[in-house]
Each structure stands twice: as C-alpha cells, then as structure tokens.
Amino acid sequence: MRGFTLIEVLVALSIAAFALMALIGRLGASSDVQRTLIQQRAAITVAQNILAKELLQSDKTANAASDEKSGDLQWQGKTFHWRAWTEKTELERFVRRNVSVNTAGEPAVQLFIFLVLP
C-alpha cells in the first residue's frame, strides 16, 4: 500500500486554502450588498411616507407648484436626509413632485409622483 507523499498533501492543502480564501471574500461582498439593499429599502420607505404625507395634506396642490422642502428624519436608528421639490412638465396643469432620500455613505433614492394643479 502506498500513501500520500508530503508534497501531495501540501499541494492539496494549498489548493483548499486558496479556495476557502476566495469563498470567504465572496461572503464579505455578499454581506455588503445585502446591507446596501436594506439601506435602500429603508430610504424608499421614508420617501414613500413623505410623498404620502404630502398627498394627505389638505392644501397639497396650492403649494405644490413652487415649494421646496428638506429635512432630516430619524428612523430605525439611522438619520435620513430628504429633499422634496417640484418640476414643471410639458402639460400646463401637471407637475412632478420629487423626493430624494439618502443616509450617510449610501447613494440617494429618488421617487416621484405627478400632481394636477387646480
């Protein structure tokens, strides 16, 4: 019976070590992507809430054509900076209301709705 030589064992261990290092690197990248997706989902929820609040205001269309607002919001232990503004469209009575939300170190998320002016 013949066993493995020391060289064969070292080669097999080095191949396994390189494979494990590659897998561990991918796990780190995967967790970064998941963290970013969680942050973006939270920012989308904040933007949806800001747009919904503006729609529920009684005088929403009277001020929609000219106002710009911004602020900070604490939610789920994080600070979100938001900015809302209005853009004119090609149609005279329609405007586009935009909301941009971001948190430190993450890209901004932008949502919009169209409003009809009186």
* pLDDT in the model for residue 29: 75
**Structure pTM?**
0.68
CB atoms within 10 A of CB 45: 15
Q: CA-to-CA distance for 111 and 49, rounded, in angstroms?
A: 11
* Phi, psi dihedral angles at 42 (to 5 degrees): -65, -40
Reduced to 3 states (helix: H, G, I; strand: E, B; else coil), residue 93 is coil
And the tokens for 114? 């169209």
* pLDDT in the model for residue 81: 94
* pLDDT in the model for residue 63: 52
Give me the average pLDDT of each 10-residue run along the chain (118 residues). Answer: 82 92 79 86 92 75 65 88 92 90 89 87
Fold of the domain spanning 6-116: Pantoate--beta-alanine Ligase; Chain: A,domain 2 (3.30.1300)
* pLDDT in the model for residue 80: 93
